[in-house]
């Protein structure tokens, strides 16, 4: 394992018979360089298999050409759809994306700041991170974009999906099936998305729904575990915070001998890949993950350039009925 010295820009310069500055110019695609020289440089680069040192570039230019993504849970497929789209945008613009999972709240700002020593900007998908931390980031002028999190007191660009309207639509669907007593399996208490969804569910009282909230979370396990308590309220339908929780709930119901949707209806949110393939296929809300990720990148890229794009409106999500909802048991609809 001989420690062969890294080939630096200097080596390339020597090999091509030019100065390091010229090599740097060629690498960065500056037009002000003699084509013949550029060609020589390119050949030398190739031959020596030169790879610029990212750290040095970052130090010298103050730009790292990479952005950090902070999210609470890597295993939630909902995030995949988003960051995949973000990634193609970033790649297109020559940026690298570094994903960091972080769960414990309180620590998050620290992590962000730490990550920041190697990135130019941040995408915050984390619902749990305290508002103070965000405000701090905003105050520091760190290019940051909030995803699916609308914070009024924070001066940061944000992109988000409309949670309220589609959830209301979903409730309407439930109401039209004759449901009345429903339980909302909540997501993370502080999360904006959770507040919005719950708000919509409460609003649905006007449609005749009589909702109760039960604490849960955005995971299969949490949905599974919250189901027993939910059943205590004797509901005809379970409105889960997201698809994962819905899947967990369905599994627990099945275990208890309750069939979905015959005995009890269950709804999800997000439309992750599994939702369609589950049994029963989940009635849920199709969240525009790709569009969200794309827009997040556009906003972030602008921030990186010091530009501040106009705050875009909420993206709309659409309700889709599948097999996990049916007429309320005991209703004559």
Task: List residues binding DNA (CB under 7 A).
Answer: 5-6, 8-10, 17-25, 27-28, 32-34, 37, 50-53, 56-57, 59-63
Q: What phi and psi values does residue 239 have, to the nearest 5 degrees?
A: -105, 105
Q: How far is CA 2 from CA 30, 46, 47, 50, 328, in A?
A: 36, 22, 20, 18, 72
* Pairing state between β 181-185 and 158-159: unpaired
In whole angstroms, the minimum distance from the beta carbon of 107 to a second copy comes to: 11
In whole angstroms, the minimum distance from the beta carbon of 210 to a second copy comes to: 28
Which residues, 84 to 103, sit near a second copy by CB under 8 A? 84, 87, 96-101
**Count of CB atoms within 10 A of residue 207's CB?**
15
Distance separating alpha carbons of residues 69 and 74, to the nearest angstrom: 11
By CB under 8 A, residue 258 contacts a second copy: no
In whole angstroms, the minimum distance from the beta carbon of 22 to a second copy comes to: 21
Q: Torsion over CA of 119, 122, 127 and 133, rounded to 10 degrees?
A: 80
Per DSSP, 104 falls in state S
Please identify, using beta-carbon distances, which residue of 80 and 180 lies nearer to a second copy.
80
In sequence order, the β-bridge partners of residue 214 are 185
28's contact among a second copy, DNA, none, with CB below 5 to 8 A by partner kind, is DNA
Cα–Cα–Cα angle for 130, 135, 137, nearest 5°? 100
Which residues, 125 to 144, sit near a second copy by CB under 8 A? 140-141
In whole angstroms, the minimum distance from the beta carbon of 97 to a second copy comes to: 8
Instruction: Taking each helix axis as running N to C, give the angle between helix 35-48 and helix 9-16, from 0 to 180 degrees, rounded to the nearest 10.
Output: 120
Question: How many helices and strands, by DSSP H and E, does the chain display?
Answer: 13, 11
Contact 85, 298 (CB under 8 A): no
Please identify, using beta-carbon distances, which residue of 50 and 102 lies nearer to DNA.
50
Per the rule left: phi > 0, alpha: psi between -120 and 50, beta: everything else, 54 is alpha
167's contact among a second copy, DNA, none, with CB below 5 to 8 A by partner kind, is none
Distance separating alpha carbons of residues 274 and 75, to the nearest angstrom: 13
In whole angstroms, the minimum distance from the beta carbon of 270 to DNA comes to: 40
In whole angstroms, the minimum distance from the beta carbon of 54 to DNA comes to: 8
Please identify, using beta-carbon distances, which residue of 185 and 200 lies nearer to a second copy.
185
Please identify, using beta-carbon distances, which residue of 6 and 332 lies nearer to DNA.
6
34's contact among a second copy, DNA, none, with CB below 5 to 8 A by partner kind, is DNA
By CB under 8 A, the count of residues binding a second copy is: 51
250's contact among a second copy, DNA, none, with CB below 5 to 8 A by partner kind, is a second copy
19's contact among a second copy, DNA, none, with CB below 5 to 8 A by partner kind, is DNA
Which residues, 3 to 42, sit near a second copy by CB under 8 A? 3-4
Distance separating alpha carbons of residues 127 and 187, to the nearest angstrom: 10
Which residues, 259 to 288, sit near a second copy by CB under 8 A? 273-274, 276-279
**Count of CB atoms within 10 A of residue 318's CB?**
12
Length of the chain: 333
Q: List contacts with a second copy (CB under 8 A).
A: 1-4, 51-56, 58-59, 64, 66, 74-75, 77, 80-81, 83-84, 87, 96-101, 113-118, 140-141, 220-221, 224, 247-248, 250-251, 254, 273-274, 276-279, 306
């Amino acid at each position: 394992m001989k420690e062969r010295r890294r080939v630096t820009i200097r080596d390339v310069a020597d090999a091509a018979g030019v100065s390091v500055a010229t090599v740097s110019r060629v690498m960065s695609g500056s037009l002000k360089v003699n084509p013949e020289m550029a060609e020589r440089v390119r050949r030398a680069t190739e031959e020596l298999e030169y790879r610029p040192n990212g750290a040095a570039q970052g130090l010298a230019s103050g730009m790292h050409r990479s952005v950090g993504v902070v999210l609470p849970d890597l295993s939630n497929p909902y995030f995949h759809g988003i960051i995949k789209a973000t990634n193609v945008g970033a790649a297109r613009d020559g940026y690298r994306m570094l994903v960091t999972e972080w769960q414990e709240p309180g620590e998050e700002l620290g992590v962000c700041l730490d990550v920041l020593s190697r990135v130019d900007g941040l995408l915050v998908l984390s619902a749990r991170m305290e508002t103070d931390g965000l405000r701090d980031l905003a105050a520091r002028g760190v290019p940051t974009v909030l995803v699916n999190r609308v914070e009024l007191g924070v001066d940061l660009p944000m992109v988000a999906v409309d949670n309220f309207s589609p959830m209301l639509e979903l409730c309407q669907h439930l109401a039209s099936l004759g449901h009345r007593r429903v339980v909302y399996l909540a997501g993370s208490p502080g999360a904006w998305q959770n507040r919005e969804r719950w708000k919509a569910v409460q609003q649905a009282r006007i449609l005749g729904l009589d909702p109760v909230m039960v604490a849960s979370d955005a995971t299969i396990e949490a949905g599974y575990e919250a189901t027993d308590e939910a059943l205590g309220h004797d509901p005809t339908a379970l409105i889960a915070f997201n698809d994962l929780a819905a899947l967990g709930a369905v599994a627990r119901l099945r275990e208890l001998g309750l069939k979905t949707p015959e005995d009890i209806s269950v709804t999800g949110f997000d439309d992750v890949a599994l939702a369609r393939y589950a049994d029963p296929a989940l009635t849920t809300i199709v969240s525009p993950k790709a569009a969200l990720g794309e827009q997040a990148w556009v906003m972030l890229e602008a921030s990186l350039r010091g530009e501040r794009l106009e705050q875009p409106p909420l993206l709309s999500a659409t309700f889709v009925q599948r097999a996990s909802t049916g007429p309320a048991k005991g209703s004559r609809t």
